[in-house]
Each structure stands twice: as structure tokens, then as C-alpha cells.
Amino acid sequence: MSGKATRQAFGESLARLGETHPEIIVMDADLAKSTKSEIFAKKFPRRFFEMGISEANMIGAAAGMSFAGKLPFICSFGCFVTGRYDTLRVSVAYAQANIRIVGSHAGLGIGDDGHSQMGLEDIALMRALPTMGVFQPMDARETELVMEYLVNEWKGPAYLRTTRQALPDFYPAGVPFRPGKLLELYSPSSGKLDVVCIASGAGVAEAMQASQALAGAGIKMGVWSAHCLKPYDDETTLSIASQAKLMVTVEDHSVIGGLGSCVAEALAKTSIHPPLMKFGVQDVFGESGEPIELFEKHGFSARAIVQKITQKLR
């Protein structure tokens, strides 16, 4: 179950892909050590540009480079780079610039850095932009697969959300990557499900732990992972919704505009579906603390998930 931070997997993948894709260039806003773009910078110093604490300028410069045939990866903390929303909206999304925006240090999981550096609204912002793809891998292997897809297949702008903290390895060995599709991670061996859970990013580890605890209490919860939040997999969501009494989502992001909203929007397309519980940050700002303490306080630790689901199904 050991693993690494998805920011680390991103940096390693970027440097590896740079070997066969000379069009890749990287820009960072004075956070290369934290975002792990420094791994690329050490390997390809002439293709790395330190832009300083000037995210809007970095975004504009990257847009220009993309129209000159380059594939720019622009890196910063998720809250900082998406905070330059007007520039992203016009210079990237409206222009359909072929750029990869990488927002690291996502969610409450950054811990002691506190609310000013926590990206808790970034997915909602990026999902609202036409032409923008939004991706959040759950572990190192899925990060590698998403990176390969973003370099080799995706066209137009895309946002990749990564974590500061290490995440357990859950991607099943030998399972082919299906871009944009939900991935089933756990299902009880027999009987009808009580709960269908869709999780993303750091939320997957909490959901998987909760599923084991619920199984011990006689509650069967299947877990699916969503690495892509736009375009979202409505088809699979609607298919699995009919399997249970309750649907839940788990994410280290605001419950407004993130994964929970993706699922709610999908369910709104049908008149018959189970009730939905959204586990995540409940329309408040973050704060400093250990990640597990913050997950617990904000109600989406594995323990909190188990408690609330058990109460709901009694």
C-alpha cells in the first residue's frame, strides 16, 4: 500500500517524456522544488524557464510558446495558478492553447501550510472553462498514465491536479488505462451493493479504507476512481447508480463544483437514482494541521465516512 506523492510521479514522468518529446518545455513560478518540475529542469535546463512569482506572465508566455509549436507545462501550487483566472480564461481556454497547467499541493492534504496555499476551489474553476480538461490521478501509476495521455493524445488546454502528500498505490496491475472512464477498484464478492462510492485523488485512499471498515459492519460499498473530472464519465456513473441504496463521493476539494457536482450533474439526467452524499470540504476555508486531523475535522476521513454512512443506512 506504500506509494509516493502524485507531484513526485508527475515530475519523474515529465522528465521521462521529455526524452522522446522535444516539443515539451516547462515553466515554473518559483516553486520548482515543490512542484517537482525541478526534475525536468536538471535534465533539460535549456527547455526549462523559471518565471518567478509571476503566474499571469507565465500563463501568457506559455500560450505564445504553444502557438509556436511547443507543448508547455506550467507549474505552481493549484491555488496560485488557478487564481490567475482571467488570464487562463482568455489566453488559454478561449484561445484553445495547447497547454498543460499543473496545480500541485492540492486540498487539505498539504497540512501545515494552511488555507492561503490550499487549492480547494481549483477544480470548480477549471471545470467551468470551455475547452479545458480536468484530471486528478489517485496514485503514482495513474499519474504516469494520465501524463502519457496528456502528452500523446489530448489536444487543447488541460489542468492536472497533484498532491503534496504520498498516496497509497491502488491502480490494479495489468489493467489497461481508459482515458476519461471511471475505474472500479473494489466490489464485495457477492450480493447487491448497499453503497456506490466514487472518489478522486486523495479521496480514494479514504474511500478504500472506509469500504473495508463498512464490510466488517455488514455494509457493502463498491469503490470507483475518477481520474478525469472533465469530460466526466456520466455513462458509467448512471450505470452503477442503479446498483445501490446510496451514492457517495469523496474528494479533498470543495463539495461545490468538484467531483460531487460531477456526479450530481450526471444523476440529474435521470429521474430514478439513489440519494447522494458528498464528502469533502463543506463550503469553508481550510486551516493548518496534520492532513489526517484536517480530513477528520472536515468530515471526509475514513472514520467519518463510515460513521455518516452507517447513520444514513440505519
Just list the catalytic residues: 55
Classify 76 as helix, strand or coil: strand
- Contact in structure between 239 and 184 (CB atoms under 8 Å): no
Q: Please count the residues of the chain.
A: 314
What is the signed CA dihedral for 155, 227, 161, 282, rounded to 10 degrees?
Answer: 130
Residue type for position 237? T
**CA–CA dist 239, 232 (Å, integer):** 14
**Does the N-terminal peptide bond of residue 231 adopt cis geometry, omega within 30 degrees of 0?**
yes
**CA–CA dist 94, 258 (Å, integer):** 22
Q: Look at the block and give the residue holding cell 446498483.
A: 243
Residue 160's φ and ψ, nearest 5 degrees, are -115, 125
Which residues, in sequence order, are CB contacts of 93 under 8 Å at separation 6+?
Answer: 129, 130, 131, 132, 157
